[in-house]
């Protein structure tokens, strides 16, 4: 069994009791401890974490087509151990998924996940106006030990409307991920375009992801925006 926790906000600590398997971004391992000699090893995943070779090949093809491909490494643990993972001093956020709960996340923001998570790609069709693509990587809880660790550029905030059904509005280029029931919690794109966009006098906030109060969701937002997106104006 695996347990995820963060150390000093920048490092993922994975504690293994017994034998288990972990999937991480390739090259993310930084250190490890085990009581009776090293009892974990690493394998590069050529296709994906799916057990079935056909499903793994199809998943790999979908990730490459949608540009959601993530080089993955499999950590095989054969005894009690503690291992540590990080990537470019980015902040790490740990989330434990309930059975059937899904986190939608950009592939570049995935650090690690346990084998109780189902990894796939899903089209959301709302990334035309930002740096987020038309597809997103998804991790769905399939068991009681479904842990996910995501990376953030800076110390993030978490917004949730589970208790008060508030409307959540977020800049798509600052979104790291959102958690809820698959399909039900996908955001709507709200555009705020006018003649000012055509003369270069836009506010810079012409589009947003919005979740209504009827969509129970938790959203992780980083204090940095992806550069780019569609710029509308006349020079």
Concatenated DSSP letters for 7-40? Answer: ETTTEEEEEE-SEEEEEEETT-EEEEE-BTB--E
The lowest-confidence range among 65-79, 106-120, 122-136 is 122-136
Q: Cα(188)–Cα(186) distance, rounded to whole angstroms?
A: 7
Better pLDDT: 183 or 107:
107
Q: Cα(117)–Cα(125) distance, rounded to whole angstroms?
A: 23
pLDDT at 171: 87
Q: Cα(167)–Cα(200) distance, rounded to whole angstroms?
A: 29
Total residues found in the chain within this entry: 235
pLDDT at 91: 97
Provide, rounded to the nearest whole percent, the portion of the chain with pLDDT above 90.
48
The mean predicted confidence, pLDDT, of the chain is 80
- Of 57-66, 73-82, 206-215, where does the model show the most confidence? 73-82
> Which tokens go with 218?
């938790």
pLDDT at 182: 64
Q: Cα(103)–Cα(140) distance, rounded to whole angstroms?
A: 6
pLDDT at 30: 97
100 close to 141: Cβ distance less than 8 angstroms: yes
Domains and CATH numbers, the chain: 2-221 (3.60.160.10)
Q: Cα(113)–Cα(149) distance, rounded to whole angstroms?
A: 6
Q: Which pLDDT band, with edges at 50, 70 and 90, does 140 fall under?
A: very high
Residue located via tokens 């906000």: 9
pLDDT at 198: 45
Encode 216-233: b = buried (16+ Cβ within 10 Å), e = exposed.
Answer: bbbbbbbeebbeebeeee
Residue 180: closest CA among 162, 157, 166: 162
pLDDT at 227: 66
Whether the pLDDT of residue 175 is over 80: the answer is: yes
Whether the pLDDT of residue 148 is over 90: the answer is: yes
Residue 45: closest CA among 20, 22, 74, 65: 74
pLDDT at 133: 53
State the average pLDDT over residues 168-173: 88
pLDDT at 44: 84
The lowest-confidence range among 59-63, 114-118, 216-220 is 59-63
Q: Please state, as a whole number, how many other Cβ atoms lie within 10 Å of the Cβ of residue 33.
A: 12
State the average pLDDT over residues 134-154: 89
pLDDT at 150: 96
**51 phi and psi angles, rounded to 5 deg:** -75, -35
Predicted TM-score of the model (pTM) = 0.79
């Amino acid at each position: 069994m695996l347990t995820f926790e963060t150390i000093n906000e920048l490092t993922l600590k994975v504690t293994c009791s017994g034998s288990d398997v972990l999937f991480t971004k390739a090259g993310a391992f930084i250190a490890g401890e085990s009581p009776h000699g090293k009892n974990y090893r690493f394998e590069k995943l050529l296709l994906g974490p799916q057990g079935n070779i056909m499903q793994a090949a199809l998943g790999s093809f979908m990730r490459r087509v949608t540009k959601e491909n993530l080089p993955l490494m499999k950590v095989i643990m054969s005894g009690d151990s503690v291992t540590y993972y990080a990537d470019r001093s980015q902040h790490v956020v740990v989330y434990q998924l309930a059975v059937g709960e899904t986190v939608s996340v950009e592939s570049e923001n995935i650090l690690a996940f346990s084998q109780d998570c189902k990894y796939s790609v899903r089209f959301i069709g709302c990334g035309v106006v930002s740096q987020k693509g038309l597809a997103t990587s998804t991790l769905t809880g399939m068991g009681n030990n479904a842990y996910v660790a995501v990376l953030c550029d800076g110390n993030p905030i978490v917004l949730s409307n589970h208790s008060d059904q508030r409307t959540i509005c977020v800049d798509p280029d600052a979104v790291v991920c959102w958690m809820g029931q698959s399909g039900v919690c996908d955001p709507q794109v709200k555009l705020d375009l006018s003649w000012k966009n055509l003369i270069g006098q836009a506010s810079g906030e012409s589009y947003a992801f919005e979740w209504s109060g009827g969509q129970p969701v938790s959203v992780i937002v980083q204090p940095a925006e992806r550069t780019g997106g569609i710029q509308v104006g006349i020079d």
